[in-house]
């Protein structure tokens, strides 16, 4: 803490916070795209530790299983020593509490992301004082979402350059099975 920062300005619950800045990048990652990777890599450059957490959502139909999504994420993020891949279900704030995580990092692609993300961020802060840090999307990927990638690939469109090569292969195989 800087010498001139009076600890008295910190809220009571902030005083005990661990000083390791461990953050989480949550999402479905069905599958991971280059837009996700851009945010993940930038977060790993700014924070001490980054946990990429795959949401286990049994009610939502996914193309890849949680194990497959975790596996793909591991394969494409191996170069970051301060990054790990995990999974969670239920409330993100509970995952944060269980893992000593003080903040969520989200990418903002467009104004349309903002309203929902602001609501989630405010609720997470209200529930558990978990902060949300927004990173603006790389303009090269601001139009990109996993669902759009799947839709284009399903109709034979070219999604190379939008997902890592390993994911490209997995996508082709999975869609060929449909």
Task: Using the rule CB under 6 A, give the single segment among 31-39, 57-65, 69-77, 86-94 that binds ligand ADP.
Answer: 31-39
Pairwise CA distance, residues 54 & 140, whole Å: 24
Per CB under 6 A, contacts with ligand ADP among 11-30 are: 27-29
Cα 146 vs. chain centroid, distance in angstroms?
12
Residue 174 annotated in active site? no
Compute φ and ψ for 6, nearest 5 degrees.
Answer: -75, 120
Among residues 69, 70, 131, the alpha carbon closest in space to that of 96 is found at 131
- Decide: is 106 part of the binding site for ligand ADP (CB under 6 A): yes
Q: Between 40 and 79, how does the x/- string for binding to ligand ADP read (CB under 6 A)? A: ----------------------------------------
For residue 163, give both structure tokens. 């997902």
What is the size of the binding site for ligand ADP (CB under 6 A)? 16
Residue matched to tokens 């990054």: 83
Residue 146 annotated in active site? yes
DSSP 26-43: EE--TT--HHHHHHHHHH
Instruction: Enter the DSSP assignment of 137.
Output: P
Residue 89 annotated in active site? no
Task: Using the rule CB under 6 A, give the single segment among 16-24, 69-77, 144-152, 166-174 that binds ligand ADP.
Answer: 144-152
Active site residues: 36, 60, 109, 146
Binding residues for ligand ADP, rule: CB under 6 A, are 27-29, 33, 35-36, 39, 106-107, 109, 137, 141, 144-147
């Amino acid at each position: 803490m800087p010498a001139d920062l009076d600890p008295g300005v910190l809220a009571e619950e902030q005083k005990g916070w661990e000083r390791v800045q461990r953050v989480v990048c949550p999402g479905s990652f069905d599958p991971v795209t280059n837009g996700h990777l851009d945010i993940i890599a930038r977060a790993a450059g700014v924070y001490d530790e980054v946990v990429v957490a795959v949401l286990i959502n049994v009610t939502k139909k996914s193309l890849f299983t949680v194990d497959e999504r975790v596996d793909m994420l591991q394969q494409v993020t191996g170069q970051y020593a301060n990054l790990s891949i995990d999974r969670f279900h239920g409330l993100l704030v509970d995952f944060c509490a269980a893992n000593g995580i003080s903040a969520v990092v989200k990418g903002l692609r467009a104004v349309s992301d903002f309203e929902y993300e602001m609501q989630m961020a405010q609720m997470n802060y209200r529930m558990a004082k978990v902060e949300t840090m927004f990173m603006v999307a790389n303009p090269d990927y601001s139009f990109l979402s996993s669902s759009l990638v799947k839709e284009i690939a399903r109709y034979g469109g070219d999604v190379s350059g939008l997902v890592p090569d390993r994911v490209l292969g997995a996508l082709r195989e999975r869609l060929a099975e449909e």
